[in-house]
C-alpha cells in the first residue's frame, strides 16, 4: 500500500474558527495528521512517500480559474489591506447570499472572500494555499499509482477536501482532493469511477462537482442535513441532474446512529457502487463517525474501522483513499490505521 503524505500540511495552522458567535480554537489541527502518520508507520502499513508536483491544469479540471486565482493570492491581498493582518487569520464577514449577484467579482477583498466561502469556520493563513495544493498533489499521486497498478494508494493529507466545490470553500476544505483523484483516474483511462464518502458530514463539494455527470458515481452516508452540517445539501432526494440523474446517492442518518445501523447503511452504499460497475474507487475517508468525536454524532468504535476497511476491500476495486475529517485527535491515528489495516488484510 502506497501512503502519500503532505510535507507542507503544517503550513496551514490556523488560530481560530467562528462557532456560534464565538471565536474558538480550530478543530482541524496539524496534530490530526501527525497522529495518523505515527500510527501507520508504527504498524508498517505501507510505503511512505512524497507526492509529485501537480500542474495548474490538474486543478483547473475541477476548480474554476477565478477561484484558484483567489486562493493563490488571498494571503497577499489580506496583508496588503493592513500589514497588521499578518498576525491574524482570514475569516469572512459578508456573503453573496440569496438574490445577490455571483457573476461579478468585487474589487474589495472582504467581498471576494464572501463570494467564495459558505461558512465562517474555515480560516485561511499564509500557508493555506501551499498546504492545500500539496494535498492535491498527494491525491493525484495516489491516483496515478493506482492507474499504474497499485491495489490501493492513500493520500495522507490535510486540510481535508470534500466540502470544497468548483468555486467555493468551507468545512475546513479548500481544494477537493477526492474529486481531483477521481478526475485523475478518469483522465488516466478509468471509464467509470465511484466516490464513496464515509465522513460524518456530507461531501457537498464533491456532490456539486459531479452532479451533472454520469461517469462518476457519488455515494455518501452522513449525518442528516436537517440537523447536521453542512445543512443545505445531502438529502436523499438529491439524485443528480441531466446526464447525472441517478448517479448521486445520499444516505442521511440521524445523530446518535449506532454502528450496526451504520454498517447496514454502508451495505446499501456498497451495493450501489457494485451496480455502477466502476473501474476504480475513491474513498473519502472521514473517521469523525467515531463515538468520541467532538463535533459529530455517530457511535462507531475504533474496532469498527477494521470492519470498514475489510468491507471496502471486498469490493475488489483499485482504490484511492483521501483523508477527510476526524477530530478526536488522540484517536484519529488509530482509527485511520485500523481502516487501512482492515483493507490490507482483506485485499491480500
Q: What is the pLDDT of residues 70-87, one digit of tens each?
A: 999 999 999 999 999 999
Residue 133 — pLDDT band, cuts 50, 70, 90? very high
pTM score over 0.85: yes
Residue 21 — pLDDT band, cuts 50, 70, 90? confident
Q: What is the pLDDT of residue 191?
A: 98
For residue 119, cis peptide bond before it (omega within 30 degrees of 0): no
**Cβ distance 197 to 208 under 8 Å?**
no
Residue 348 — pLDDT band, cuts 50, 70, 90? confident
CATH no. for 2-63+129-347: 3.40.800.20
Tell me the three cell numbers of residue 338. 485500523
Cα 62 to Cα 3, 69, 222, 243, 247: the distances in Å are 23, 14, 23, 18, 18
Identify the three-state secondary structure at position 251: strand
Domain boundaries in the chain?
2-63+129-347
Distance CA 35, CA 240 (A): 37
Q: What percent of the chain has pLDDT over 90?
A: 98
Q: What is the pLDDT of residues 277-312, one digit of tens each?
A: 999 999 999 999 999 999 999 999 999 999 999 999
Give me the long-range contacts of 268-272 (CB less than 8 A, separation at least 24).
Answer: 269/196, 269/198, 269/219, 269/220, 269/221, 270/196, 270/311, 270/315, 272/217, 272/219
Q: What is the pLDDT of residue 20?
A: 85
Candidates 199, 207, 209; CA nearest to 298 is 199
Average pLDDT of span 38-46: 96
Distance CA 10, CA 166 (A): 25
Distance CA 3, CA 38 (A): 12
Q: What is the pLDDT of residues 98-131, one digit of tens each?
A: 999 999 999 999 999 999 999 999 999 999 999 9
Average pLDDT of span 250-274: 98
Catalytic hit among 162, 163, 202, 299? 163
Q: What percent of the chain has pLDDT over 70?
A: 100
Q: List 323's β-bridge partners, or say none.
A: 285
Q: Sign of the C-alpha dihedral, residues 244, 282, 190, 56?
A: positive
Pairing of β 2-5 and β 152-156: parallel
Known catalytic membership, residue 299:
no
Average pLDDT of span 49-58: 96
Tell me the three cell numbers of residue 121. 469556520
Average pLDDT of span 331-346: 98
Q: What is the pLDDT of residues 138-186, one digit of tens each?
A: 999 999 999 999 999 999 999 999 999 999 999 999 999 999 999 999 9
Q: What is the pLDDT of residue 192?
A: 98
More confident: 153 or 348: 153
Average pLDDT of span 189-213: 98
Tell me the three cell numbers of residue 36. 495518523
Amino acid at each position: 500500500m502506497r501512503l502519500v503524505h503532505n510535507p507542507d500540511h503544517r503550513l496551514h495552522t490556523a488560530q481560530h474558527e467562528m462557532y456560534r458567535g464565538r471565536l474558538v480554537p480550530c478543530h482541524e489541527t496539524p496534530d490530526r495528521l501527525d497522529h495518523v502518520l505515527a500510527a501507520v508507520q508504527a504498524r508498517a502499513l505501507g510505503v511512505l512517500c512524497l507526492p509529485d508536483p501537480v500542474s495548474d491544469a490538474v486543478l483547473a479540471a475541477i476548480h474554476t480559474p477565478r477561484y484558484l486565482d483567489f486562493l493563490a493570492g488571498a494571503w497577499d491581498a489580506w496583508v496588503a489591506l493592513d500589514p497588521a493582518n499578518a498576525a491574524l487569520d482570514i475569516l469572512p464577514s459578508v456573503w453573496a447570499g440569496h438574490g445577490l449577484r455571483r457573476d461579478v467579482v468585487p474589487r474589495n477583498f472582504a467581498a471576494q472572500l464572501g463570494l467564495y466561502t459558505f461558512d465562517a469556520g474555515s480560516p485561511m493563513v499564509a500557508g493555506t494555499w501551499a498546504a492545500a495544493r500539496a494535498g492535491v498533489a498527494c491525491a493525484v499521486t495516489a491516483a496515478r499509482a493506482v492507474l499504474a497498478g497499485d491495489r490501493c494508494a492513500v493520500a495522507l493529507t490535510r486540510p481535508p477536501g470534500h466540502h470544497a466545490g468548483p468555486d467555493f470553500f468551507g468545512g475546513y476544505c479548500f481544494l477537493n482532493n477526492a474529486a481531483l483523484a477521481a478526475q485523475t483516474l478518469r483522465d488516466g483511462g478509468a471509464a467509470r469511477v465511484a466516490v464513496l464518502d464515509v465522513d460524518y458530514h456530507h461531501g457537498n463539494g464533491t456532490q456539486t462537482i459531479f452532479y451533472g455527470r454520469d461517469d462518476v458515481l457519488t455515494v455518501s452516508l452522513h449525518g442528516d442535513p436537517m440537523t447536521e452540517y453542512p445543512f443545505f445539501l445531502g438529502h436523499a432526494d438529491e439524485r443528480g441532474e441531466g446526464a447525472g440523474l441517478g448517479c448521486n446517492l445520499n444516505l442521511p442518518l440521524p445523530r446518535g446512529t449506532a454502528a450496526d445501523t451504520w454498517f447496514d447503511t454502508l451495505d446499501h452504499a456498497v451495493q450501489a457502487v457494485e451496480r455502477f460497475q466502476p473501474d476504480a474507487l475513491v474513498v473519502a475517508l472521514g473517521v469523525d463517525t467515531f463515538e468520541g468525536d467532538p463535533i459529530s454524532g455517530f457511535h462507531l468504535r475504533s474496532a469498527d474501522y477494521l470492519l470498514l476497511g475489510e468491507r471496502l476491500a471486498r469490493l475488489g476495486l483499485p482504490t484511492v483513499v483521501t483523508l477527510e475529517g476526524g477530530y478526536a485527535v488522540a484517536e484519529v491515528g488509530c482509527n485511520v490505521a485500523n481502516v487501512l489495516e482492515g483493507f490490507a488484510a482483506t485485499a491480500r
